[in-house]
Structure 1
Amino acid sequence: MRLYYKYLLILFKSQMQYRISFWLLTIGQFFIPLTIFAGLYLLFERFGQIKGWGFFEVALCFAVIHMAFSLSECFARGFDVFSSLIIKGEFDRLLVRPRSTFIQVLGSKFEFTRFGRLLQSVIVLIWALSNLPIEWTVIKAITLALMITSGVFIFTGIYMLAATMCFWTVQSLEVANIFTDGGREMAQYPLNIYQKWVTRFFTYVIPFGTVNYLPLKYILGKVTGNDLTHMLTPVLGSLFILPCFLVWQIGVRHYRSTGS
């Protein structure tokens, strides 16, 4: 982790060499999800609710998934642009270094401008929480934090799977965007508004349901039962990154260099 923090500091200093560009990009990232949220607001202005979910309840769902997505885009960007390392043959250089390829790829790229997107999501989160009659407990507060953390792990895991495919395809596959950008768009609404097979797929295969839908019902008081069970739901979703890491390790072992 000491090496990871060094990567973090070096790349932050390099991006701050062009401060005006950095701040303009950050402001742009702030407004990108704002247009999506405006569409969400107008939707509820027209229909009032969606399958029993009110505007501020969905706004909380929106804020959680976008916070997770912006954090993963910032800190796991190295896997998202991994194909460039394969194409240029730079991954060979990482292999001869006496450190984990996972840490080196993770620390190869950071997008600090994504904090603009994160700030917008934080504002929506505060607005939604201030307008919801939630009876807060320590467990509910921990569950909310775990929801965001679980989302970061799931998005990072998807980036890792997409990066692993580059060992065989060289170029990254656009189909991965179905589960990153598409997953973000889908998970910004409670999953029970979709057909059952969609809900099951995004709960048991790509576990976005453990980020917002299942624990969100608990926070909003829509379910009864063991508090500890609901708090652990996001933790189970976070385990998604373990098979993704295993697949990454398999890909590294089967890498045969660029041949150049």
Structure 2
Amino acid sequence: MGSLALFFRLVRASLDSQARYPASALMLTLGQLLGTGIEMIAVWALFHRFGDVQGWRIGEVAVFYGLVNCMFAIADAMGRGFDVLGTDFLRTGTFDRLLLRPRPLALQLMGHDFRISRLGRLLQGAALLAFGAVQTDLAWTPQAVLIALFALAGGVALFLGIFVLQGTLSFWTVESLEIANVLTYGGVQAAQFPLAIYAQWFRRVLTFIVPLACVAYYPVLAILDKVDPLGAPGWVGWVSPLAGFVFLAAAFGVWRFGLRHYASTGS
């Protein structure tokens, strides 16, 4: 069996196990949908009270919000194995069992626990993306669809890379550190708004260290056909999602370094 076929079989097995308790799966999915939906209500209240924010309308922010949440929902579903690496594998010693299997280790972890509840965030993100498109009279031309799909893929790669780095830390800390949530959930919160509203030092962090702006801000500007108030040329949005794949490759480089220093449980 090829690696891709094995991954889909692992995903199907994970979904089948969750489907055995449909009420639980449904409530978790609804919880994700309502939990993230409340955040958008807060954003709506902000714009309803103060109007535009530095020239950005609620429809434009909704496009940012929807696209970023779709990225994170897919990456969160795929990266669950890295998220629980310390507690579910390293502390129990079952990580050694994965090492003995003649299959890519990363693939086994990505297919370990494909959470159906993340569908709630994905649906909410898609709904907000549609809302933003209506509010901004966005024309889904072939070019806009292509940029959106490229940005989505780059964003999934970026967030998955963050989960990989979080799992790598577990080789030394045994448990996943809460500081990693600054880059995952905190990154989602930061990327949901236009880069231009932030201070210069924070814009540099989101562009050159954790390139969230490259997978969200610049592509959305290209989708909306909007001039960047920071002065970036229009073609940047076409190529910037590549930064997400570069970040994922770098994360797996750190992962291989951590894997070489793994010394088992000692038990």
Give TM class, smaller chain. Answer: over 0.9
Counterparts of 1:32-71 in structure 2, within 5 Å, are 32-71=35-74
| Displacement of 1:149 | 1.6
> What root-mean-square deviation, in Å, do the aligned CA atoms of Structure 1 and Structure 2 show?
1.5
Q: Percent identity?
A: 37
Match of 1:198 in 2: 202
Q: Is the 8 A contact 1:82 1:163 kept in 2?
A: yes
**222-231 or 197-206: bigger deviation:** 222-231
Q: Is the 8 A contact 2:81 2:111 kept in 1?
A: yes
Match of 1:98 in 2: 102
What secondary structure, in the 3-state scheme, does the structure 2 residue paired with 1:66 have? helix
Q: Is the 8 A contact 2:220 2:237 kept in 1?
A: no
Normalising by structure 2, report the TM-score. Answer: 0.93
Match of 2:179 in 1: 175
Letter matched to residue 40 of structure 1: V
Q: Is the 8 A contact 1:140 1:231 kept in 2?
A: no
Is 1:157–2:161 an aligned residue pair?
yes
| Displacement of 1:139 | 1.9
Match of 1:237 in 2: 244
Match of 1:114 in 2: 118
| Displacement of 1:227 | 6.2
What secondary structure, in the 3-state scheme, does the structure 1 residue paired with 2:20 have? helix
Query: Matched residues in 2 for 1:163 and 1:118: separation?
Result: 23
Letter matched to residue 250 of structure 2: P
Q: Is the 8 A contact 1:150 1:237 kept in 2?
A: yes
What secondary structure, in the 3-state scheme, does the structure 2 residue paired with 1:174 have? coil
Match of 1:253 in 2: 260
Query: Matched residues in 2 for 1:42 and 1:105: separation?
Result: 40
Is 1:207–2:207 an aligned residue pair?
no
Query: Matched residues in 2 for 1:136 and 1:98: separation?
Result: 44
Deviations 1:146-204 (A, max 9, x none): 22221111111000001001111111111101100111111110111110010111111
Is 1:218–2:222 an aligned residue pair?
yes
Letter matched to residue 8 of structure 2: Y
Deviations 1:48-80 (A, max 9, x none): 111111010001101011111111111211111
Query: Matched residues in 1 for 2:236 and 2:168: separation?
Result: 33
Normalising by structure 1, report the TM-score. Answer: 0.96
Q: Is the 8 A contact 2:221 2:237 kept in 1?
A: no
| Displacement of 1:222 | 2.0
**67-76 or 220-229: bigger deviation:** 220-229
Q: Is the 8 A contact 1:63 1:122 kept in 2?
A: yes
Query: Matched residues in 2 for 1:230 and 1:72: separation?
Result: 21
**69-78 or 86-95: bigger deviation:** 69-78
Letter matched to residue 37 of structure 2: L
Unaligned 5+ segments in structure 1 are: none
Unaligned 5+ segments in structure 2 are: none
| Displacement of 1:108 | 1.2
Q: Is the 8 A contact 1:65 1:151 kept in 2?
A: yes
